[in-house]
Amino acid sequence: MAKTALITGITGQDGAYLAQFLLEKGYRVWGAFRRSSTVNLERLEYLGIRDKVELVPLDLLDLGNIIRVLEKVQPDEVYNLAAQSFVAVSFEQPVVTGEITGLGAARMLEAVRIVNPQIKFYQASSSEMFGKVQAVPQNENTPFYPRSPYAAAKLYAHWMTVNYREAYGIFACSGILFNHESPLRGLEFVTRKITYTVAQIKHGLARELRLGNLEARRDWGYAPEYVEAMWLMLQQDEPDDYVIATGETHSVKEFAQEAFACVGLDWRDYVVEDPAFYRPADVELLVGDATKAQQKLGWRPRTTFKELVRLMVEADLKRVGDRCGR
Give 43-59 pLDDT, tens digit per residue: 999 999 999 999 999 99
- Catalytic, out of 27, 150, 156, 222: 150
Measured at the alpha carbon of residue 61, what is the angle toward residues 44 and 21, in degrees to the nearest 5?
25
At 85, the pLDDT band (50, 70, 90 cuts) reads confident
- The DSSP line for 209-230 is EEES-TT-EE--EEHHHHHHHH
Is residue 295 a part of any domain in this protein?
A: no
Catalytic residue list contains 128 = yes
Same domain, 252 and 163: no
237: three-class secondary structure by DSSP: coil
Is residue 263 a part of any domain in this protein?
A: yes
- CA-based nearest residue to 115, from 173, 66, 174: 66
Structure confidence by residue, pLDDT tens digits, 183-237: 999 998 999 999 999 999 999 999 999 999 999 899 999 999 999 999 999 999 9
Statement: residue 254 has pLDDT above 60: yes
Measured at the alpha carbon of residue 54, what is the angle toward residues 51 and 58, in degrees to the nearest 5?
135
Is residue 132 a part of any domain in this protein?
A: yes
Same domain, 196 and 239: no
Same domain, 109 and 57: yes
Is residue 206 a part of any domain in this protein?
A: yes
Catalytic residue list contains 254 = no
Same domain, 232 and 311: no
Is residue 318 a part of any domain in this protein?
A: yes
Same domain, 85 and 196: no
Distance CA 221, CA 50 (A): 25
At 326, the pLDDT band (50, 70, 90 cuts) reads low
Distance CA 34, CA 12 (A): 11
**Count of residues in the chain:** 326
8 A C-beta contact, residue 225 and residue 290: no
Backbone angles phi, psi at 154, to 5 degrees: -65, -35
Same domain, 229 and 272: no
- In the chain, what percentage of residues exceed pLDDT 70? 97
Same domain, 206 and 226: no
173: Cβ contacts below 8 Å, ≥ 6 apart: 120, 121, 122, 123, 161, 165, 233, 234, 239, 240, 241, 242
Same domain, 109 and 205: no
133: three-class secondary structure by DSSP: coil
- The count of C-alpha atoms lying within 13 angstroms of the C-alpha of 58, restricted to the half-sphere facing its C-beta, is 34
Statement: residue 262 has pLDDT above 90: yes
Query: Looking at residues 31-54, what average pLDDT do you find?
Result: 90
Q: What is the CATH number of the domain that holds 146?
A: 3.40.50.720
Same domain, 229 and 94: yes
- Break the chain down into helix, strand, coil percent, rounded to 5: 45, 15, 40
Is residue 294 a part of any domain in this protein?
A: no
Domain limits for position 174: 4-180+222-244
How many domains is the chain partitioned into structurally? 2
Statement: residue 320 has pLDDT above 90: yes
Is residue 299 a part of any domain in this protein?
A: no
Same domain, 198 and 121: no
Is residue 19 a part of any domain in this protein?
A: yes
- Catalytic, out of 27, 90, 127, 128: 128
Distance CA 282, CA 22 (A): 35
- The count of C-alpha atoms lying within 13 angstroms of the C-alpha of 2, restricted to the half-sphere facing its C-beta, is 11
pLDDT of residue 37: 53
Distance CA 153, CA 90 (A): 9
Statement: residue 38 has pLDDT above 80: no
At 243, the pLDDT band (50, 70, 90 cuts) reads very high
Catalytic residue list contains 127 = no
- Catalytic, out of 90, 125, 126, 182: 126
Alpha-carbon torsion (82, 86, 89, 91), positive or negative:
positive
Distance CA 150, CA 140 (A): 19
Same domain, 125 and 199: no
